[in-house]
Structures are given as C-alpha cells and as structure tokens.
Structure 1
Amino acid sequence: MAININKLKTATSTPVHTARQAKENHEAGNAKAQGTSTPVKTDSVSITSQAHGLQSAQSKMASLPDVNQAKIDEIKQAISDGKYKVDPEKLAANIANFESELNGLSVNKE
C-alpha cells in the first residue's frame, strides 16, 4: 500500500501542550469562572554551600600556573651539576602506584 505524500497538508501546525500547561490552563479557566485568580507558580534554584566551595576551588585552580617553573629550573640545575640522583626502586614503585590508580586497583605499600 502506497501513501500519496503530495496531498498532505504541510503548512498547518498543531500546537503541542504539555500536561502541566493543560492543567494550568484548566485551573486558570476555573479561576476565571469563579472570579478568583490563581497564584503564579515559579521555579527556583538554590546552590548549596558545597557547590559554592567547589566553584571557589575551581577558580583558585584556574589561577595557578600549569607548570612550576621554579621546580623545573631547580631540577635542570641539579642535572647539569651532576647532583640529581634517581632512585630506581622508588621510581618503579611510583609508576606502579600511578598505573594502579588509573586502573582503579590498589597496590600494597610496604
């Protein structure tokens, strides 16, 4: 069975109402009939103190530099002076801990 789409009306629009709008319209019509007015309902939003704290922490973090240049300069100087020593066991443990945190696993620290 084929549908002839050429004969469909395309310029008409049908208003769509939500259940809330229909209820409000019905209540408003009843109020007019009774001679009373219904109070206007408004939505409100309140932000918790925790959200304010998070927003404050976020703005403080945004103001910090991405790189600690003083620390970088200190390490560069230690490397060029031959004073920078790497503890391979500590480095391996830190890498393992980092990997486990990324994977959601826990590593026993000894």
Structure 2
Amino acid sequence: MMIDPKAGLGNLATQQSQRGNNRVAENRANQADAPANPVDSVNLSKEALSLKKLEDNIAKAPVVDQDKVASLKAAIADGSYKIDPERLAERILGAEGI
C-alpha cells in the first residue's frame, strides 16, 4: 500500500477504518443468511446413561464410612481393638509391591 505524501497518515487511518466497516457489514450479511436458530442434538446410548447414573450415585456416597469409624473408636476406647502384626506387615509389603 502506498501512502500519499500529501494526505499523510490520516488517509491511511481512514482507509483502514473503511475496510473495518466493510468487514462488519459482510459479517452481518453472512449472519443474516445463516438459519436463525440452529439446533444441535445428542443421543446417548443406554450404556452412557447407565454410567452417568452410576457416576452420580458415587458422587453422592459419603467419602468416609462413619459407622466403621465409630465402631473403631469405640473398640480403641474400650481396649478391645487388637492389631495383628503379621497381617499388618503383609499388607504393608503388599502395598509396596514386595
């Protein structure tokens, strides 16, 4: 693009503004040609619906089993909770993959 030395940079700004206005007008015309309310739809399989239901049920489940916690607290408090050291060691080793 050449800049007219007589007009200076003001002419350049005017040309750019006119191009921008033309683009806006073109976009509006293109939008007018598009359907007013395009509709998208999705159909989920029975398996997907079942998985969603399971996911919702899991989300509602409590993270901590309060009944188990209460029974363990009571057993520790009254001295009836016993630890099997061999079982504990096996489970630690199993968790470590040994």
Q: TM-score range by the shorter chain?
A: 0.5 to 0.7
Aligned mate of 1:56, from 53, 58, 75: 53
Change (3 A) 1:63 1:12: same
Task: Please show how residues 1-110 of structure 1 align to structure 2 within 5 Å.
Answer: 7-8=12-13, 9-10=16-17, 11-12=20-21, 14=23, 15=26, 43-80=40-77, 81-86=79-84, 87-97=87-97
Q: Which runs of 5+ in 2 are unaligned?
A: 1-7
Which portions of structure 1, spanning 4 or more consecutive aligned residues, are displaced by more than 6 angstroms? none
After superposition, the CA RMSD in angstroms is 3.3
Partner of 2:3: none
Report percent identity of matched pairs: 18
Runs of at least 5 residues in structure 1 that lack an aligned partner in the other structure: 26-40, 98-106
The separation in 2 between residues aligned to 1:5 and 1:92, in whole angstroms, is 78
TM-score scaled to structure 1, two decimals? 0.48
Matched residue SS, 1:45? coil
When the two structures are superposed, what TM-score results if normalisation uses the length of structure 2? 0.52
